[in-house]
Amino acid sequence: MNVIEVVDLWKQYRRPHQRVTTLKEAVLAFLRGQTGYEEFWALKGLSFSVGPGETIGVIGPNGSGKSTLLGLLAGVLKPTLGRVQVNGRICPLLGLGTGFHPDLTGRENVYLNASLLGLGRREIRACYDDIVEFAELEDVMEAPLKTYSTGMMVRLGFSVAVHLDPDLLLIDEVLSVGDEHFQHKSFDKLMSLKEQGKTFFVVSHDLNALLKLCDRALWLDSGNMVADTGCEEVITAYRRVVAEGEQRAREARLRQGSG
Amino acid sequence: MTYLRELWRYREVLWNLIRRNLKVRYKNSVLGFFWSLLNPLMQIGVWWFVFKIILQNPEPNYMAYLITGFLPWLFFSQTVLDSTACVTQEMALVKKAYFPRALLPLSALMSNLIHLGLAFVVLLGLFAAWRVDVNVYWLLVIPSTALIAVFAYGLSTMLAAWSVFYADVKFIIGNLMGLWFFLTPVLYPVFMVLRRVEMAGENWLVRMLEHALPAIKMAYLADPVAIGILGYRSALLHGGENPIMVPGEPAMEAALRAQYPIGCYVVAAVLIAVVVAVAGQLVFNRLADLFAERG
């Protein structure tokens, strides 16, 4: 059975012209006859499926729909059209500032996060020590999270995510956080998960890391799938296009300068 | 049905959210949990001082009268206020992980139920000191609490969902609660509202109200919060007696009881609570899919 099945997936956002957040503004906008929204499609008809053990990198320029895709896979966003089906346990979306609560201790946050994955207390207890050890936070687990540095929080989030044994791991731009030491460590951990046959989805701008981690890559541009094949192929093509774009921009600047 | 199964599957999350709520409410306070006991006591102390000492309220045990009305009121208002903010406060979680969103207002309700239970311990202590009899009518507290809980849950879900889209909801409800407090019989006996009164002065507001007065009084008594409070009083202080009482004037008491059959009002209050709960859940579920992208 495929881990992910995405069929003709469309996602529309409404982007307010003017941000309407109060009743007064809403009433005024209504009286003026403004709908106040501009609709745009963040994803335009994506279809793909992912088998068990595939490791997938998602690349594309800013605003191409990468994070939206992860949100849909995590079940946080709902598709406007089409279908997303994920079989198995999904880890909460791992990004900066994961669903942690600043007033709770590190330990309590681990339990809260793990319960979101559907784990019972006993299962959490079983892997708790590994989580703490990997994050190297043994001394501060009883301190409230607000006393942690950003790096410590990311380490904890990463450690929770990789130790709870999810069927699908969604990672949004956290490969290059933490110090050098932890970056290597988390990278090695992902490599070993890959060898164990875990499925993961990584959004990153660190193309070199993706080359090592992923077998397959999706290239998104303004909500369209530009390419979906082997990681190396896609990244080579992506680099070429980016380089061409830069080249054109340089030439345009030169022409302007001389003209 | 599948929805309930989904909630059950995520019960561990609910439990963690409740523990979190309980812990965070009194963060950074030395007395911690004691505040959920001290707060209502202090508030009641203030009213007791004003209405008993200064204004000479004739109620024999006015302190007991206040506490039996204030505990259910506090449970109601605190649940609604907490829930109104529950989704917006947890946006970080909502944007990162899937879980049935109804767990958020549900956890606010449950944590306030626990606070109510704690406050009840104080009440029992006071009642022991006043040598109030424990009797079987005390069990009426359970359906009274359930009534308020169902009603509060309905309002909570509705307000929690709307406040994601409009920040105004939070301010409106804060003020509304201040008014609502006086529209429930916490400080005064219910007959003072129900009896016939001659309104002083003649202005357009009085004239307008005069026509609507019978309907307003009926709505006043059918309010699930008012019925819940009356249930508490009847259970804890009056041995299950009809809560419409007029001390020293049996004729007026009989007339009011005939005019406002309490059984009908209990049924009406239950219906209102259930309808609000169902409507709230529907509104909430319809909007829940949009929380992550609009929050």
DSSP conformation letters of A41-69: EEEEEEEEEE-TT-EEEEE-STTSSHHHH
- Contact of A195 with chain B, judged by CB distance below 8 Å, is answered with no
Spell out which residues of chain A touch residue B293, defining contact as CB-CB under 8 Å: 13, 77
Spell out which residues of chain A touch residue B17, defining contact as CB-CB under 8 Å: 112
**3 state DSSP class of A10:** strand
Chain A residue closest in CA terms to B25: A103
The mean per-residue pLDDT over the stretch A143-171 comes to 84
In tens, the pLDDT along B2-58 reads 778 888 888 888 988 898 888 877 776 777 777 777 888 888 889 888 888 888 877
Q: How far is B145 from chain A (nearest CA, A)?
A: 29
- Contact of B167 with chain A, judged by CB distance below 8 Å, is answered with yes
Which residues on neighbouring strands pair with residue A9, listed in sequence order? A46
The pLDDT score that the predictor gives to residue B39 is: 81
Distance CA B82, CA B21 (A): 10
Q: Which residues contact B47 (CB under 8 A, 6 or more apart)?
A: B66, B187
Helices marked H in chain B: 2-9, 11-25, 35-47, 62-89, 91-96, 103-129, 141-165, 168-182, 191-194, 204-222, 224-237, 250-259, 262-288, 291-294
- Which of the four pLDDT bands, split at 50, 70 and 90, describes residue B198? low
Residue A94 above 70 pLDDT? no
CB atoms within 10 A of CB A45: 14
Residue B241 above 80 pLDDT? yes
Instruction: Please say whether the beta carbons of B81 and B174 come within 8 A.
Output: yes
Distance of CA B225 to the CA centre of its chain: 5
Residue A259 above 60 pLDDT? no
Question: Which of A92, A100, A103 shows the shortest C-beta gap to B27?
Answer: A103
Task: List the single range of A101-115, B167-181, B261-275 with lowest mean pLDDT.
Answer: A101-115
- Which of the four pLDDT bands, split at 50, 70 and 90, describes residue B64? confident
Question: Which of B16, B94, B168 shows the shortest C-beta gap to A111?
Answer: B16
The pLDDT score that the predictor gives to residue A96 is: 57
Token representation of residue B80: 């609604």
Distance of CA B140 to the CA centre of its chain: 16
Chain B residue closest in CA terms to A26: B166
- Interface mutation target, options A11, A37, A41, A116, chain B, most CBs of B under 10 Å: A116
Which residue's entry shows tokens 């003072």? B192
Chains A, B: CB contacts under 8 A, how many?
Answer: 77
Residue B113 above 90 pLDDT? yes
Instruction: Please say whether the beta carbons of B64 and B237 come within 8 A.
Output: yes
- Contact of B135 with chain A, judged by CB distance below 8 Å, is answered with no
CB atoms within 10 A of CB A148: 19
B12–A121 CB contact, under 8 Å: yes
The mean per-residue pLDDT over the stretch B72-99 comes to 90
Token representation of residue B237: 């202080």
3-state secondary structure B175-204: HHHHHHHHCCCCCCCCHHHHCCCCCCCCCH
Distance CA A224, CA A44 (A): 6
Chain A residue closest in CA terms to B96: A93
- Which of the four pLDDT bands, split at 50, 70 and 90, describes residue A13? confident
Token representation of residue B110: 């449950």
Which residue's entry shows tokens 């903010």? B85
Question: Which of A26, A76, A120 shows the shortest C-beta gap to B96?
Answer: A76
Specify whether the backbone of B100 is left (phi greater than 0), alpha (psi in -120 to 50) or beta: beta
- Contact of B207 with chain A, judged by CB distance below 8 Å, is answered with no
Residue A135 above 70 pLDDT? yes
Token representation of residue B147: 């009534």
The pLDDT score that the predictor gives to residue B127 is: 84
Distance CA B110, CA B37 (A): 17
Mean pLDDT of all residues belonging to chain B: 88
B92–A75 CB contact, under 8 Å: no
Spell out which residues of chain A touch residue B96, defining contact as CB-CB under 8 Å: 74, 76, 92-93, 95, 98-99
A75–B12 CB contact, under 8 Å: no
The pLDDT score that the predictor gives to residue A120 is: 77
The pLDDT score that the predictor gives to residue B2 is: 77
Instruction: Please say whether the beta carbons of A105 and A112 come within 8 A.
Output: no
Which residue's entry shows tokens 């030169």? A254
CB atoms within 10 A of CB B82: 23
Residue A97 above 60 pLDDT? no
For A7, the enclosing helix (H) or strand (E) is strand A4-16
